[in-house]
Amino acid sequence: MSDNLSRDLYSALCAIPLIDPHSHIDPISPVSRSLDDILGYHYYTELAHSAGMSQEPLRRETAPRDRVRAILGHMGRFDNTTQYSWFVDIAREFLGFTGERVTVADTDALFDAAQRAFAQPDWEKQVFAKSKLEAIFLTNEFDDSLDGFDASKYIPCLRTDSLVFHLDKPKIRERLADATGVQVGDAQSLRKAIWKLFARFKAKGAKACAISLPPDFEPVRIADSELDRAIKALAGDSTLAKAVFGGVQFAKSIAGTASHADESPLAAVSLGVFWMLAEHCREFELPFDLMIGVNRKVYEAGVYQGQDLFDRRTSLIKYRDLFNAFPEVTFPISVLTSGQNQELVAYSWIFPNVIPNGHWWYSNIPAYIRRDLGERLQAVPKTKLIGYYSDAYKLEFVLPKYNMYRRVLAETLADEFVRPKRFSETEAVALGKRLLRDNVREVFGV
Amino acid sequence: MSDNLSRDLYSALCAIPLIDPHSHIDPISPVSRSLDDILGYHYYTELAHSAGMSQEPLRRETAPRDRVRAILGHMGRFDNTTQYSWFVDIAREFLGFTGERVTVADTDALFDAAQRAFAQPDWEKQVFAKSKLEAIFLTNEFDDSLDGFDASKYIPCLRTDSLVFHLDKPKIRERLADATGVQVGDAQSLRKAIWKLFARFKAKGAKACAISLPPDFEPVRIADSELDRAIKALAGDSTLAKAVFGGVQFAKSIAGTASHADESPLAAVSLGVFWMLAEHCREFELPFDLMIGVNRKVYEAGVYQGQDLFDRRTSLIKYRDLFNAFPEVTFPISVLTSGQNQELVAYSWIFPNVIPNGHWWYSNIPAYIRRDLGERLQAVPKTKLIGYYSDAYKLEFVLPKYNMYRRVLAETLADEFVRPKRFSETEAVALGKRLLRDNVREVFGV
Amino acid sequence: MSDNLSRDLYSALCAIPLIDPHSHIDPISPVSRSLDDILGYHYYTELAHSAGMSQEPLRRETAPRDRVRAILGHMGRFDNTTQYSWFVDIAREFLGFTGERVTVADTDALFDAAQRAFAQPDWEKQVFAKSKLEAIFLTNEFDDSLDGFDASKYIPCLRTDSLVFHLDKPKIRERLADATGVQVGDAQSLRKAIWKLFARFKAKGAKACAISLPPDFEPVRIADSELDRAIKALAGDSTLAKAVFGGVQFAKSIAGTASHADESPLAAVSLGVFWMLAEHCREFELPFDLMIGVNRKVYEAGVYQGQDLFDRRTSLIKYRDLFNAFPEVTFPISVLTSGQNQELVAYSWIFPNVIPNGHWWYSNIPAYIRRDLGERLQAVPKTKLIGYYSDAYKLEFVLPKYNMYRRVLAETLADEFVRPKRFSETEAVALGKRLLRDNVREVFGV
């Protein structure tokens, strides 16, 4: 930190226990078992590959130690990045690393240190303690078992991408039938199945429903009869599908325009299921996390989880019908690009049910966090700002990612609130606590 | 202010008398009559509502003091915002408030202080003096009376949204007939009516024509014969309308593409009237203020004036025909989003008749002002930069809003010009004066 | 520079010899012959014109000294701009100017000083030495002579705009026939002609192929048979053209959508030629510089080279097919707007063959450079960052433009790397050297 005030604020913010409102943690295996789990995180495999590493070392057959060596061997090419800084933080905080820079020469020492550290029987507990982590949200498939873990620490969250975008796949419909006992064949059975999912998740302590959405998605309400025909078409009779969904006509009929739909039963089902999810969020009083803007599999030959990019030309105006139709549902919104932050600020300033949520993926680096956070703090009520989530796959990432965020937050509070004498230091820390903790508790009812 | 240089520059900038080139002031009732007028400003009702206040207190039946209490009761939820800072400034500058933070406990004291202050017979004069305000532009409906006030202090400006977008409403056509004595039934009578409006406004001292435009608006010239048919259709024979405007054909015929028009007579009339306004700006030598990018009534259940948002996917390329067709007309351009600022900078750098105008609405907070101003100052001739306007509904807002702007301007001049030794302090203040005053005088001929 | 650390870094960066990877230098006449060559640069004529100068002084008949006087006479209106700062730098570095500000009163002194300086027989050598310039890339038309200059200092680069976008013009087809001895009449002869161009350029030391692209361009592969028909249509039989390319049908057939093509043979040829160029970049192992986002002749009455603007609504998603199809080709990408920088960062982070290239045109001012550079440094491997190119028309511009960039780079390294103790000063300078020199050498094989 560059100055005393920021340092003091940073220390104070670090003392606040965290509730992390979005991650991909597996509650059965929440911590890393080897350094391979850390460096296998797609942020590292992507950057190593982008900087010239072949995908050879990423194959299953490669020994973990060799894979780690390969990635560390390329790290010198991206030691300028924020992602590299996270890794150095992990090495320092969890592996006793004391050097200035991590290089390939550290492979064995770090790998072995990780083996020792991660093998400790109370490692999970240690990570929780070091990270001052109180609870962390999961990302659960609709048919995930929600047993075998403490749901007050690992908070279930119903992730719904597959329901909305992949109901054309027989495998998904089967899994849905297995999970609910309902064979989905029309709008009514679909509603029944979804109700059962929500009921189970709610009973198990779920605090949110969530989904990631492509940039061209535009939720609109479609008639039950349309949804009915679309599901029937998907689920079975392809002749009917052709007959019902042929041509521009259909897409126009469902929303008055063809732009949001692919003139296909799947598009209609996507719209129908999405709307139905919002209705269940209302009924079960769950916030609906929308993560807006990702295109899947853009780099087809990319590494695992390193294939997704985006089209920045998207707008929250597409969600106007949704926000208007569900005033009782809170929508924590993540946007993929900083360019969309001003819309997020303005929509949150106007709509009571729209709130900004963290800094997602390609926007999760200090340059964008600083800018987006600064804008949000100037124009959105502080009670509506969910500051950050880790998006972590392993618990060891919670600490370095939150540290990055807290550094930016501390500097922003120093520059924008304390130095201009708008807030005292105590008030600034209280504002930080709102973003880091209080709002998570209030919005999600934790 | 964080340093001496910025403070000095700020002081010097505060000494420059203001001509505010855009507001919604009612010249007959320019100042507030109670604190309710201040906190009834949509920025406060929006934020209070967005932060959880029901619209109950905003009903006409609620006593003003109770409404103020309700809004102040929610202000603690948005005391991080710039809008809150404006209010604290107003309380300090005009109401003798000396505390650190305004809370609901201050309701009665502030309400009563406002009653006393605003009741002073020379209050308007005091506000002018305290704000160093010399003159302020109005926003006049085409049939506003322009009598009963001093047009050298309250400068008329012909606002044309209703003419361009609502000529399908019989009420608007009636009002136009009343204002001009011309019953509009075709292109020729429309031209006559508009000429009369301009002649009257010009005679009364108007210095600009203005309009706000939705993000998908794309001005193109349409043939008089098309406009003629469109007006006839709007104004009367709906059978004719159907016949003339059916289908894609028409929209394509007016502009070679269907993208900008809704294939309707209203769309054609909008294009025709807009173009005609530009022609009259040329004839009457008035700048044409374009405020680009607002979608009306997005949040349908929002508070009064708190329903409008935007689609950030818009571009100045839509205005290429207009800028090329009217080299004699100056177009002061406001854009709604900071994301469009680079276009505004580039178009102003290239087109002699395009100039950047202030920081509008959702971009009117320091985060965006700082960025947009910095970009403009690096690449647009200084003689073309209109720095700021208040957009105020009551005169008491001119001072806090300009103070916010002057703070950003002072810091920008310090960081970008004086410290790198590009300008002396005197030169930097002169540059600030250009933005605050000189260019307003030159561009609008005040 | 505002502090010692930045100053030290700046000095160290200034000592690094430059290889400038993009310019419009004429190797036969690389330096200015009079001050008119300096101030005739479109950045000055544009700003003078935009600030009110008529185009009268820009006519060929005007004496150079008078033209210079006219432009200097308007410079006081844009002495706030970065472009003005470049000129002051040139006056100081090359013309012995010692004043604070350049005004019209300096016309004769500067003009005469320029005559003396530029007339020195070793002027070119002096400019190279003062600028620490080692080599500079050219922008060559496909039929440029590549003889008569030292290709290790003036590195040829095949610019392909005319091949992709103007093959409908008989003049271009004639020039292509003259340059290659191949009369292009179908896909096969086109391929042969392009192969010959690449072979000649490669033999003469070319290190890149380059093109500038409009914002709506979307490269897709079209079938050879389609290209064949399109070329035949362009090259000759217009009846056939009509027959083949009539209506929406064709455009849809080539890419499944009409959005990227104008339903014309030219659009099909553009797609076909572009794809063929990428194939030859692969075969000849040349990077393919893409400069994305310019619309030509937007301000129709603008000064020479001062008519081009843009539609910011564009996305790298349009290039997904290209990036996927050519993993062996490196694509150094320039984007016209800072708003597209996050896409450039993300695509470079994911795709091994996509790399960010400099700061182009309307983004070539410190406000955008600072922001874009900061983002790139946080998330793109340092081995993939080509920091800057001058885009200069005369060698005298290399120095002031690189100075501007080095100032921003020095401050960014100080603020983001050295002060937070992520890098030592030595490491920071090495990082700067990567951006300024090493990556140019490695990417282009210089």
Question: pLDDT tens for residues C381-413?
Answer: 999 999 999 999 999 999 999 999 999 999 999
Report the amino acid identity of residue B57.
P
pLDDT band with cut points at 50, 70 and 90 for residue C237: low
Q: How many CB pairs under 8 A join B and C?
A: 102
Query: Mean pLDDT of all residues in chain B?
Result: 93
| Reduced DSSP (H G I as helix, E B as strand, rest coil) percent helix, strand, coil of chain C, to 5 | 55, 10, 35
Chain C residues in contact with B373 by the CB 8 A cut-off are none
pLDDT at B244 over 90: no
Does the distance separating the beta carbons of A338 and C317 come in below 8 Å? no
In chain B, whose CA is at the least distance from the CA of A419?
A: B2
pLDDT at C321 over 80: yes
The rounded distance, in Å, linking the Cα atoms of A439 and B10 is 37
B346, B347, B381 ranked by CB distance to C77: nearest: B381
The minimum CA-CA distance between B415 and chain A, rounded to whole Å, is: 15
Query: Mean pLDDT of all residues in chain C?
Result: 93
- C interface toward A at CB cutoff 8 Å? 313-317, 320, 323-324, 327, 339-340, 342-343, 345-352, 371, 374-375, 377-384, 417, 419-420, 422, 431
Return the pLDDT at C255: 40
Q: What is the ipTM of this complex?
A: 0.94
Does the distance separating the beta carbons of C52 and B383 come in below 8 Å? yes
Return the pLDDT at C242: 44
- B interface toward A at CB cutoff 8 Å? 1-2, 46-47, 49-52, 77-83, 85, 295, 298-302, 306-307, 309-313, 337-339, 362-363, 365-368
The minimum CA-CA distance between C354 and chain A, rounded to whole Å, is: 9
Return the pLDDT at A226: 86
Does the distance separating the beta carbons of A346 and B362 come in below 8 Å? yes
pLDDT band with cut points at 50, 70 and 90 for residue B110: very high
The rounded distance, in Å, linking the Cα atoms of B288 and A200 is 60
Instruction: Report whether A39 contacts A62 (CB < 8 A).
Output: no
Return the pLDDT at B291: 98
The minimum CA-CA distance between C434 and chain B, rounded to whole Å, is: 27
Chain C residues in contact with A81 by the CB 8 A cut-off are 377-381
The rounded distance, in Å, linking the Cα atoms of B333 and B21 is 12
Chain A residues in contact with B365 by the CB 8 A cut-off are 375, 378-379
Determine the residue among B7, B80, B84, B100 to mutate to test chain A binding: the one whose Cβ has the most chain A Cβ atoms within 10 Å.
Answer: B80
Model pLDDT for residues C152-170, shown as the tens digit of each residue? 999 999 999 999 999 988 9
In chain C, whose CA is at the least distance from the CA of A336?
A: C342
The minimum CA-CA distance between C404 and chain A, rounded to whole Å, is: 21
pLDDT band with cut points at 50, 70 and 90 for residue B264: confident
The rounded distance, in Å, linking the Cα atoms of A397 and A16 is 17
Does the distance separating the beta carbons of B342 and C363 come in below 8 Å? yes
Instruction: Using DSSP bridges, classify how beta strands A208-213 and A288-292 pair: parallel, antiparallel or unpaired.
Output: parallel
- C interface toward B at CB cutoff 8 Å? 1-2, 46-47, 49-52, 77-83, 85, 295, 298-302, 306-307, 309-313, 337-339, 362-363, 365-368
The minimum CA-CA distance between B270 and chain C, rounded to whole Å, is: 23
- DSSP string of C388-410, one letter each residue: -----SSGGGHHHHHHHHHHHHH
Does the distance separating the beta carbons of B349 and C77 come in below 8 Å? no
In chain B, whose CA is at the least distance from the CA of A352?
A: B50
The helix/strand/coil state of C137 is strand
Return the pLDDT at B230: 86
Q: How many CB atoms are located within 10 Å of the residue B153 CB?
A: 15
Determine the residue among C50, C361, C371 to mutate to test chain B binding: the one whose Cβ has the most chain B Cβ atoms within 10 Å.
Answer: C50
Share of chain B above pLDDT 90, in %: 88
pLDDT band with cut points at 50, 70 and 90 for residue B237: low
Chain C residues in contact with A365 by the CB 8 A cut-off are 375, 378-379
Determine the residue among A315, A340, A349 to mutate to test chain B binding: the one whose Cβ has the most chain B Cβ atoms within 10 Å.
Answer: A349
Does the distance separating the beta carbons of B306 and A317 come in below 8 Å? no
Model pLDDT for residues B155-193, shown as the tens digit of each residue? 999 999 999 999 989 999 999 999 999 999 899 999 999
pLDDT band with cut points at 50, 70 and 90 for residue B243: very low
End-to-end CA separation in angstroms for chain B: 32
Model pLDDT for residues A131-146, shown as the tens digit of each residue? 999 999 999 999 999 9
Report the amino acid identity of residue C73.
G
Does the distance separating the beta carbons of B379 and C298 come in below 8 Å? no
End-to-end CA separation in angstroms for chain C: 32
Determine the residue among A50, A92, A310 to mutate to test chain C binding: the one whose Cβ has the most chain C Cβ atoms within 10 Å.
Answer: A50
In chain C, whose CA is at the least distance from the CA of B374?
A: C367
In chain A, whose CA is at the least distance from the CA of C327?
A: A301
Does the distance separating the beta carbons of C2 and B382 come in below 8 Å? no
Chain C residues in contact with B320 by the CB 8 A cut-off are 298-299, 309
Cα Dmax for chain B:
71
The helix/strand/coil state of A424 is coil
Report the amino acid identity of residue A282.
R
- For chain A, list residues with pLDDT below 50: 238-262
In chain A, whose CA is at the least distance from the CA of B53?
A: A352
> Model's pTM, two decimal places?
0.95
b vs e for A187-202, b when ≥16 Cβ sit within 10 Å of the residue's Cβ?
A: bebbbebbbbbbebbb
In chain C, whose CA is at the least distance from the CA of B327?
A: C301
In chain A, whose CA is at the least distance from the CA of C348?
A: A50
Does the distance separating the beta carbons of A300 and C324 come in below 8 Å? yes
How many Cα atoms within 13 Å fall on the side-chain side of residue B312?
27
The rounded distance, in Å, linking the Cα atoms of A70 and C217 is 38
Decide which of C63 and B223 is more confident: C63
> Mean pLDDT across the stretch C280-286?
98
Return the pLDDT at C89: 97
The minimum CA-CA distance between B314 and chain C, rounded to whole Å, is: 7
Does the distance separating the beta carbons of C380 and A81 come in below 8 Å? yes
B315, B323, B384 ranked by CB distance to C51: nearest: B384
The rounded distance, in Å, linking the Cα atoms of C84 and C66 is 19
Could you give the angle at the alpha carbon of C85 between the alpha carbons of C83 and C90, nearest 5°?
A: 100
Structure token digits, residue C378: 């946080």
Instruction: Report whether A376 contacts A334 (CB < 8 A).
Output: no
The rounded distance, in Å, linking the Cα atoms of B268 and B255 is 10
B47, B80, B368 ranked by CB distance to A349: nearest: B47
Model pLDDT for residues C10-22, shown as the tens digit of each residue? 999 999 999 999 9
C50, C81, C368 ranked by CB distance to B351: nearest: C50
Does the distance separating the beta carbons of A80 and C377 come in below 8 Å? yes
The rounded distance, in Å, linking the Cα atoms of C147 and C203 is 11
Q: How many CB pairs under 8 A join A and C?
A: 102
Residue bearing tokens 């971009």: B363
Model pLDDT for residues B381-390, shown as the tens digit of each residue? 999 999 999 9
State phi, psi for A140 to the nearest 5 degrees: -105, 130
